[in-house]
Amino acid sequence: MSKEPSSVDSASLEEQLSAYLDGELDDEATRQIEQRLACDPQIRKTLQDLERTWQILDTLDEAEVDESFTRTTLEMVAVAAEEDVQRQAAEAPRLRRRRVLVALTWLAGAAAVGFMAVALGWPNPNRQLLEDLPVVERLEQYRQIGDFEFLDALYREGMFVEEGNDES
């Protein structure tokens, strides 16, 4: 099993214990922490460690910060914010061009798909003419033959040899 859930629980417990030490918990949460402290020596040890940590931190000297430090820090923040604004302003036309190009690409793709759908799905009026072209090319020969009965009589007499069916 992974140790991550216990470390998350541990971090959550330390946050609750820290809030308990600072007096930031409501009555119900305070009561629950006190019950856990009464039952679990490990939690009591964690609370004692936190108390010692706070005591050690209280013994440290507070850093003195003069007005120039504050002013310098605020100036640095203002300069960084100004640089961000300038960078965003410089990138705006490029982003706008990119959006337009993407939109045009999608539009061209949709147009191409639409054209292909129409080209493949729309009936071609010349298609029938192309299919009938061999008949049209020999139309004079067919007119000389006469009617269907004549062709049928020739066929019955064996005048036509079908492909792949050589009887000779």
Indicate whether 76 pLDDT > 70: yes
What are the Cα distances from residue 71, in Å, to 63, 80, 85?
16, 14, 21
| pLDDT of 40 | 92
DSSP secondary structure letter of residue 137: H
Q: Which of 41-55, 84-98, 151-165 has the lowest mean pLDDT?
A: 151-165
pLDDT tens by residue, 106-161: 999 999 999 999 888 888 778 888 888 888 888 887 777 777 787 788 788 887 76
| pLDDT of 164 | 54
Q: What is the pTM of this model?
A: 0.36
Residues 95-106 have a mean pLDDT of 96
Rounded Cα gap, residues 108 and 114, in angstroms: 10
| pLDDT of 168 | 46
Higher-confidence residue of 102 and 144: namely 102
**What residue ranges do the domains of the chain occupy?**
8-59, 91-122, 127-156
Q: 129: which residues sit within 8 A by CB, 6+ positions away? A: 136
What is the widest separation between alpha-carbon atoms in the chain?
A: 125
Helix (H, G, I), strand (E, B) or coil at 15: helix
Token representation of residue 133: 């072209």
